[in-house]
């Protein structure tokens, strides 16, 4: 039997998020319920792996995330605005969060980072930043009023060490960063 969503009902809503009860049919035909969170609207997102050349450094941001109650080390990221492509969003968000200008190398198909909680889709955008370009020499973040973001340039060869130091200081680490560290060691 095919599994499918039968209905969605709103349990509660805030300014940005909606808590829903999803009624669905499981593979045995049974009626089941699942609570899920959606953004208010149909927002998708991007996260950016930006490599600075010729220095072979990766850009990271650190910001306070209220749901975790602490600073988090993350890749630059953001929501796709209406009418924007993932590539356009990545260029905008990289500049806003890090102050750097980069060129898009690739855009992945959307994937799901927490499918047991939300249907939010996120695309990985890889970018290259020319570290020698005059406009990238003194890059300064340009965050939105609600954001307080620090930017870090980290050598790929020292990434694991940098992350361990951040952890020892109580900073939470986005799981995508751990994935990158493991992939670099393969």
b or e along 116-134 (b: 16 or more beta carbons within 10 Å of the residue's beta carbon)? eeeebbbbbbebebebeee
Domains along the chain with CATH numbers: 4-39 (no CATH), 45-185 (3.90.79.10)
Q: What is the pLDDT of residues 89-134, one digit of tens each?
A: 999 999 999 999 999 999 999 999 899 999 899 999 999 999 999 9
Q: What is the pLDDT of residues 14-67, one digit of tens each?
A: 988 999 999 999 999 999 999 999 887 667 999 999 999 999 999 999 999 999
CA distance 186 to 171: 26
In this structure, are residues 20 and 35 in contact, taking their beta carbons and an 8 Å threshold?
yes
- What pLDDT was estimated at residue 42? 66
Q: What is the pLDDT of residues 130-157, one digit of tens each?
A: 999 999 999 998 877 877 899 999 999 9
CA distance 123 to 90: 10
Residue 34, both tokens: 């699942």
């Amino acid at each position: 039997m095919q599994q499918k969503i039968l209905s969605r009902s709103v349990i509660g809503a805030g300014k940005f998020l909606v808590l829903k009860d999803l009624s669905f049919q499981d593979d045995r035909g049974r009626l089941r319920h699942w609570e899920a969170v959606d953004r208010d609207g149909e927002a998708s997102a991007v996260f950016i792996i930006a490599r600075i050349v010729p220095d072979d450094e990766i850009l990271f941001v650190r910001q306070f995330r209220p749901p975790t109650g602490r600073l988090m080390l993350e890749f630059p990221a953001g929501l796709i605005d209406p009418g924007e492509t993932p590539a356009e969003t990545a260029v905008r968000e990289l500049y806003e969060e890090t102050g750097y200008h980069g060129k898009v190398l690739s855009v992945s198909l959307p994937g799901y980072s927490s499918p047991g909680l939300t249907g939010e889709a996120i695309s990985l955008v890889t970018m290259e930043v020319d570290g020698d370009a005059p406009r990238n020499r003194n890059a300064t973040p340009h965050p939105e009023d609600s954001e307080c973001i620090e930017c870090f340039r980290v050598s790929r060869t020292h990434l694991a060490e940098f992350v361990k130091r951040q952890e020892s200081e109580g900073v939470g680490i986005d799981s995508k960063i751990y994935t990158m560290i493991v992939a670099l060691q393969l």
